[in-house]
Amino acid sequence: MMFGHFAGYLGADPEERMTSKGKRVITLRLGVKTRVGMKDETVWCKCNIWHNRYDKMLPYLKKGSRVIVAGDISVESYMSKDGSPQSSLVISVDSLKFSPFGRNEGSRSPSLEDNHQQAGYESVSVGFEGEALDAEAIKDKDMYAGYGQEQQYVCEDVPF
């Protein structure tokens, strides 16, 4: 059995159907960008979500949503319209998450701020020196500034 993680975007809205045995399955069409040599390509995967898993996420999954999927991988063979044999990747989804990278086009993913507002919390962001920041100021801050740079410490700064 093969297991893998894929990050990509939905090429269509989720499709819901029932199998002949009455089992519910949601199918996602996931486009994963890859690079072959100097050329970018998109590999399309069919992702199946069985039963009622991830029902709370479904309203937010739309064409263009960026997601990360993990699950068992299989290869499905079929005949194309012109009669030539084809194959595609099929993922039986074990884990589904919204991607923190990229922008979701045409859809809106629930954010931590949305969850806090629903729970009645007031959201306040605080900067590095304790100043309150608005949403625009946060976007302008480089959250990775100084990351990976060498830090120098003076012995008096170390608490032990």
State the pLDDT at residue 101. Answer: 77
pLDDT, one tens digit per residue, over 18-77 is 999 999 999 999 999 998 888 999 989 999 999 889 999 999 999 999 999 999 999 999
Domain extent for 40: 2-101
Q: pTM value? A: 0.61
Domain boundary among 74, 101, 128: 101
19 vs 9: CA distance, rounded Å = 25
Domain count, the chain: 2
Residue range 126-152: average pLDDT?
Answer: 49
Residue 32's domain is classified under what CATH number?
Answer: 2.40.50.140
One domain for residues 45 and 115: no
For residues 68 and 104, the answer to whether their CB atoms sit within 8 Å is: no
Q: What b/e sequence results for 4-32 when a residue is b if at least 16 CB atoms lie within 10 Å of its CB, and e otherwise?
A: eebbbbbeebbeeeeeeeeeeebbbbbee
Residue range 113-123: average pLDDT?
Answer: 46
